Amino acid sequence: MASLQSAWKITPDEIRVAMREAVHACNERGLYFSGRWASEALTGLPPLGTGKRTRKRRDITTPWTDSLFLNSTLEATDEAEDEHDSYLLAKTLFDLKEYYRVAEILKGHTNCKSRFLRLYATYLAGEKREQQDRGEIFSHFDNTMKSNKELFRLEQELEEGYDADTLDSFCKYLYGVVLTKTQQTSRALTVLIESVHQYPYNWSAWLEIASCIPNEESAYSIVDQLPVSFMTSFFLLHATVEDPVRQDDFEASWTELSKLFPNSAYVQCEWARYLNNVQAADMSVEKFEQLLKDHPYRLDYMQDYSDALFVTKKYDQLSHLARYCAQVDPFRPETCFVIGNYYTAKGDHESSLVYFKRAVRFNRGFSKAWTLMGHEYMEIKNAYSAAEAFRRAIDLNVRDFRAWVGLGTAYEVARMPHVACQHYRRACAIRPLEASLWIRVADMLVMIGDESAAMICYQQILELDNQGAQIQALKVLPGLYSKAGDIETAARYYEMSIPMLSDQDSESNELANAIMFLARYERDRENIEKATRYANQALSVPTVRHQEEAKILLREMGVMTGSSELEHDMT
């Protein structure tokens, strides 16, 4: 196995040169998403200023320059020129999506760049065929078991190269992708980490690493294995933007990168997404508005902007955003998502489904669109299709807690509380501080009769900083303890619930039940003074039944409010 290379100390000038190299290296290999990301990072650096373009800066090279086989650095030998001519033809055909021709032309080429392009073209040819075979979303041919038929052959060749230590960073990235596709995520993670050590500026490799991290772990569980580089900070920024447990870590990474790349659209966009995920949607909207002003026509993550507008009920702005995205590019998956969100806001679930389906037709890996498609199916009472959409979202992003919640809801509607509870638990594992998720788990535990586990769950909710969820828990928890025969604990929780229920203007029936339970509890303990106070408090509740019960209790104790003569008259 190839040994991991040590991290290389890099200066600001070298960052600029490295990013320029990354743009060329990725684009020349057909990794256009990584090339675009690198070019955005490059333009996000502070401007050089007049008169600072010295010869020294132009002559800077990086440790990777020779191994990248950039077009501008190829040696002018006859053999190299012949191979390069073939490469140019293959690259042109690659851009025209004639992938099998690319693979045929580059057979026998020995340099790493041509080798990668041949293997990557083969992979994309298989992906293209797979999408064609699967047909329309949820059609008879749309079988998730169908896979890329080129994976086996690619895995064999890449494994041989890996064992022989002949793969460069880009081929290791592709090997990691193939391993991920064949459900070998642990091995894929190892290979991908080696890839970013060999060459850290392929952003696609970092994204693939993020997708391989197990559900129960965070990106910080592998941070010691990653190169000491600003690219690792970019990775942590991406991996923790939706992790509420890692808010401090996200902010630390963002602060570091915003100083290094003050003009980066990506860095500013991640901050806007972060604000939306920590339930600061109004601030998120402001950041996205500024981002669009600074970088017009940039549609990346507009789905998150539309979510923030939806949550804040700024439907006029959502309508404007939908029209804007449609004018820029009606066929972008993000555009279809935004329009789908707009129709959801209007309550037009059928039209919303059309656009979410269109979004995943353009990008089958768009997990968020699958999730919202599932919600729309739930709205039209199609739990079966909803469950399938949620499953596909989870297959693409196992850390999408909303998809787990949606799948749990589908099973709850189907009256399968055991299965629903399992899925709600998975959501809680991802968002352990989300009180509403624990409420769902506890409710399912009550439904399936596991009341001891439900009591533990409700107790956890009381420790979270969410008064609404605490009130919901206190509506149920005392009754469970009372049913279990633990009257003292039940009384303690009923006593805790009274000020909350009073402050929240909760239903008088729940408040009255708590007061009457405590009145009887204190009477049984022969604490007549407290029992009387609770019973008199119950006289002021609007429910007649509880008023009558309070009067009866007061008579039994012989201390009904007023004189003993009044009590005699009543009897």
pLDDT digits (tens, 9 = 90+) for 255-277: 999 999 999 999 999 999 999 98
Mean pLDDT of 289-295: 95
Q: Which helix (H) or strand (E) element contains residue 568?
A: helix 564-570
Q: Does residue 248 have a pLDDT over 90?
A: no
Task: Give CA–CA dist 509/514, Å, rounded.
Answer: 9
Cα separation, 132 vs 121, in Å, equals 16
pLDDT at position 570: 43
Lowest mean pLDDT among 60-64, 151-155, 507-511, 517-521: 60-64
Mean pLDDT of the 211-231 span? 84
Residue 372: per-residue pLDDT: 97
Give yes or no for residue 177 having a pLDDT over 90: yes
User: Which amino acid is it at 353?
Assistant: L
Higher pLDDT, 61 or 290: 290
Q: Is 52 a residue whose pLDDT tops 70? A: no
Q: DSSP assignment of 416-440, as one string? A: -HHHHHHHHHHHHHH-TT-HHHHHH
**For position 552, what pLDDT does the model report?**
82
Least confident of 2-16, 221-235, 282-296: 2-16
Mean pLDDT score across all residues of the chain = 87
Integer Cα distance of 197 and 491 in angstroms: 60
Question: In the predicted model, is pLDDT for residue 214 greater than 90?
Answer: no
What gap in Å lies between CA 375 and CA 360, rounded to an integer? Answer: 15
Q: What percent of the chain has pLDDT over 90?
A: 60
Kindly tell me if the per-residue pLDDT of 4 is higher than 60: no
- Please report the pLDDT score of residue 61 as a whole number: 57
For residues 115, 118, 124, 125, the Cα torsion angle rounded to the nearest 10 degrees is -150
Of 131, 137, 129, 127, the closest CA to residue 358 belongs to 137
pLDDT tens-digit readout, 356-387: 999 999 999 999 999 999 999 999 999 999 99
Which pair of tokens denotes residue 416?
Answer: 């399968």
**What is the reported pLDDT for 221?**
86
Q: State which amino acid sits at residue 261.
A: F
Give the mean model confidence (pLDDT) for residues 286-315. 96
92-96, 430-434, 437-441: segment of lowest average pLDDT: 430-434
Q: Per-residue pLDDT averaged across 494-498, rounded?
A: 86
CA atoms within 13 A on the CB side of 12: 10
What is the reported pLDDT for 242? 85
Report, as an integer, the average pLDDT of 124-128: 95
Average pLDDT on 278-295 reads: 94
pLDDT at 75: 47
What is the band of 508 on the pLDDT scale with cuts at 50, 70, 90? low
Confidence of residue 55 (pLDDT cuts 50, 70, 90): very low
* Backbone torsions φ then ψ of 355, nearest 5 degrees: -80, -35
Residue 204 confidence (pLDDT) = 98
- The pLDDT value given to residue 57: 47
pLDDT bucket at 558, cuts 50 / 70 / 90: confident
Are 517 and 478 in contact by the 8 Å Cβ rule? The answer is yes
Statement: residue 532 has pLDDT above 70: yes
- Look at residue 216 and tell me whether its pLDDT is greater than 70: no
Q: In this predicted structure, what is the pLDDT of residue 566?
A: 38
Which of 9, 23, 64 has the alpha carbon at shortest distance from 202? Answer: 23
pLDDT in the model for residue 79: 53
**Fold type of domain 454-570:** 1.25.40
Lowest mean pLDDT among 73-77, 156-160, 244-248, 401-405: 73-77
Q: Is the dihedral of CA 424, 427, 432, 435 positive or negative?
A: negative
- In this structure, how many other beta carbons lie within 10 angstroms of the beta carbon of residue 329? 12
User: Which one is predicted more confidently, 520 or 53?
Assistant: 520
Residues 6+ apart with CB under 8 A from 430: 215, 399, 400, 401, 404
**Rounded mean pLDDT of 518-539?**
82
**Predicted pLDDT of residue 424:** 96
Angle 315-328/302-311 helices, nearest 10 degrees?
Answer: 160
Long-range contacts of 372-380 (CB under 8 A, 24+ apart): 372/337, 372/340, 372/341, 372/344, 374/403, 374/406, 374/407, 374/410, 375/344, 375/406, 376/340, 376/344, 376/349, 376/352, 377/353, 378/406, 378/409, 378/410, 378/413, 379/349, 380/349, 380/350, 380/353
pLDDT average, residue stretch 441-467: 92
- How high is the pLDDT of residue 288? 97
The pLDDT score that the predictor gives to residue 217 is: 67
HSE, side-chain direction, 13 A CA sphere, residue 245: 13
**Choice among 346-350, 360-364, 557-561 with the minimum mean pLDDT:** 557-561
Higher pLDDT, 143 or 33: 33
On whether the CB atoms of residues 174 and 123 are closer than 8 A, the answer is yes
Least confident of 289-298, 477-486, 515-524: 515-524
- The answer, yes or no, to whether residue 16 has pLDDT greater than 70, is yes
